[in-house]
């Protein structure tokens, strides 16, 4: 008997049944930190910036020297020198003088503002005219404005993006403790499968799912562990699954997940553990199994690559994120449907779409929807679920809910971006 759940119910089972992995840390350099999850809070051990800096090219001044000046009556200041980039400013600024400074340069002692070059005039012989007054603090970023010592800058559990990596660099942290990557076991099953490097004989096909799922695991910043192609043989599958479960945190078995006699995945999971559900009311992807062996999740994914892809996108990626103690943020945009979609039959249907930019985005180099652009168009990409090439270049997918009467051409739909 298949225990068929709705996609929503399947997602809830995943969230409730599995918790983040017990944490253990590893140290990585910033070059290897992208996508990794912080093991500890990061606390600033330095002031950033470490000195008061100019935010413009111009002249460091004592602001009161500029009060009341204007284009017709400039304040006249003597140039005391130039602050060199990368060097500390030499000497204190006295009233009636100014110092040339570039963006990011050190602010001399005594100076409390910087006048932009645009509001100055060089009269020669060291005489600088200021044509617009500045107030104390103008055009300066002060020592510690970014961070002060002891500030918790990033919290444990943060996924590191290019932004956080930049922040760590600014703080002088080039080695960082991150949670270890979950190990994702990948098993393909089927007597008809050969490795992508081989030439299939008649009746054989290449194993698409192993490289595809490997890429998904890498995309999730998890560690793929490939167990290769396993024949449709219960003993062989059982021993592969035993090894995978012992060595990894999550096991993905593709193929053999239906309820037919040649479909061994359910038998093998059931013999070693429990099945949480067998079947999701979705298209493609109905023959999906989630089981648990020794407390670890074991997915039986459909063999059809397109179905395997959708199930992975919708359920496997969130589970990997859950194990990592993070979550997936899905981005959606609205678009108009380029053609009508017919009703489906009691299953939520996921349909890949290509986006065309609306008129407002013409020539912007951006495909799809931009801010304030209501005219992006989503074109459904239909292909039989065995044909992975149908997914080439898609931008996202839409979901036609179960029991929907279909969606008319031109209707506004929500596109989840891939």
In 3D, which of 271, 270, 310, 268 has the Cα closest to residue 287? 310
Residue 269 beta carbon to ligand AMP: minimum distance, rounded to whole angstroms? 14
Span interacting with ligand AMP, options 3-11, 19-27, 73-81, 300-308, rule CB under 6 A: 300-308
Is residue 256 within the footprint of ligand AMP (CB under 6 A)?
Answer: yes
Is residue 269 within the footprint of ligand AMP (CB under 6 A)?
Answer: no
Among 80, 97, 251, 258, binds ligand AMP (CB under 6 A): 258
Residue 256 beta carbon to Mg ion: minimum distance, rounded to whole angstroms? 5
| Cα 102 to Cα 411: distance, rounded to the nearest angstrom | 55
Quick one: DSSP state of residue 70?
-
**Positions in 363-382 near ligand AMP (CB under 6 A):** none
**Of these partners, Mg ion, ligand AMP, none, which one is at the site of residue 66 (CB under 5 to 8 Å by kind)?**
none
**Of these partners, Mg ion, ligand AMP, none, which one is at the site of residue 58 (CB under 5 to 8 Å by kind)?**
none
Looking at the DSSP bridge assignments, the partners of residue 380 are 353
Residue 271 beta carbon to ligand AMP: minimum distance, rounded to whole angstroms? 18
Helix (H, G, I), strand (E, B) or coil at 273: coil
Q: Exposure pattern of 18-52 as b/e (b: 16+ CB <10 Å)?
A: beebeeeeeebebeebebbbbbeebebeebbbeeb
Nearer to Mg ion, 255 or 279 (CB): 255
Is residue 297 within the footprint of Mg ion (CB under 5 A)?
Answer: no
Span interacting with ligand AMP, options 57-65, 187-195, 323-331, 402-410, rule CB under 6 A: 187-195
Is residue 254 within the footprint of ligand AMP (CB under 6 A)?
Answer: yes
In 3D, which of 329, 325, 327, 328 has the Cα closest to residue 39? 325
In order, the DSSP letters of 252-309 are EEES--SSSTT--HHHHHHHHSEEEEE-BSEES--S-EEEEETTEEEEEE-SSHHHHH
Among 302, 358, 368, 380, binds ligand AMP (CB under 6 A): 302
Is residue 133 within the footprint of ligand AMP (CB under 6 A)?
Answer: no
Looking at the DSSP bridge assignments, the partners of residue 274 are 292
**Residue numbers of the site for Mg ion (CB under 5 A)?**
190, 255-256
């Amino acid at each position: 008997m298949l225990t068929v759940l709705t996609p929503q119910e399947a997602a809830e089972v995943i969230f409730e049944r599995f918790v983040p992995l017990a944490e253990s840390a590893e140290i990585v350099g910033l070059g290897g930190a992208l996508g990794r999850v912080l093991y500890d809070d990061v606390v600033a051990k330095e002031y950033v910036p470490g000195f008061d800096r100019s935010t413009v090219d111009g002249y460091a001044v004592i602001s009161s020297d500029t009060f009341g000046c204007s284009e017709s009556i400039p304040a006249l200041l003597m140039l005391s020198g130039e602050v060199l980039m990368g060097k500390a400013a030499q000497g204190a600024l006295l009233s009636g003088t100014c110092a040339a400074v570039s963006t990011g340069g050190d602010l001399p002692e005594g100076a409390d503002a910087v006048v932009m070059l645009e509001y100055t005039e060089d009269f020669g012989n060291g005489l600088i005219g200021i044509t617009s007054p500045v107030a104390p603090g103008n055009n300066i970023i002060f020592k510690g404005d970014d961070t002060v010592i002891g500030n918790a800058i990033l919290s444990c559990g943060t996924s590191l993006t290019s932004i956080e990596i930049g922040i760590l660099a600014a703080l002088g942290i080039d080695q960082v403790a991150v949670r270890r990557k979950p190990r994702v076991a990948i098993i393909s099953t089927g007597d008809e499968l050969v490795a992508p490097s081989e030439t299939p004989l008649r009746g054989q096909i290449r194993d698409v799912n192993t490289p595809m799922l490997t890429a998904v695991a890498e995309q999730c910043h998890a560690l793929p562990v490939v167990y290769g192609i396993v024949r449709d043989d219960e003993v062989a599958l059982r021993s592969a699954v035993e090894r995978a479960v012992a060595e990894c945190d999550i096991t993905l078995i593709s193929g053999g997940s239906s309820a037919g006699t040649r479909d061994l995945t359910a038998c093998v999971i059931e013999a070693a553990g429990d099945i949480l559900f067998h079947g999701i009311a979705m298209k493609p992807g109905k023959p999906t199994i989630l089981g648990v062996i020794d407390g670890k999740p074991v997915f039986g994914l459909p063999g059809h690559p397109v179905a395997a892809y959708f199930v992975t996108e919708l359920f496997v990626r969130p589970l990997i994120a859950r194990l990592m103690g993070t979550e997936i943020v899905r981005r959606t945009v609205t678009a108009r449907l380029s053609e009508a979609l017919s009703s489906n039959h009691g299953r939520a249907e996921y349909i890949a779409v290509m986006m065309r930019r609306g008129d407002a985005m013409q020539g912007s180099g951006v495909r799809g929807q931009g801010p304030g652009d209501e005219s992006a168009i989503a074109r459904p990409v239909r292909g039989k679920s065995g044909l992975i090439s149908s997914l080439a270049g898609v931008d996202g997918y839409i979901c036609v809910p179960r029991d929907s009467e279909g969606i008319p051409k031109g209707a506004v739909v929500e596109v989840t971006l891939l």
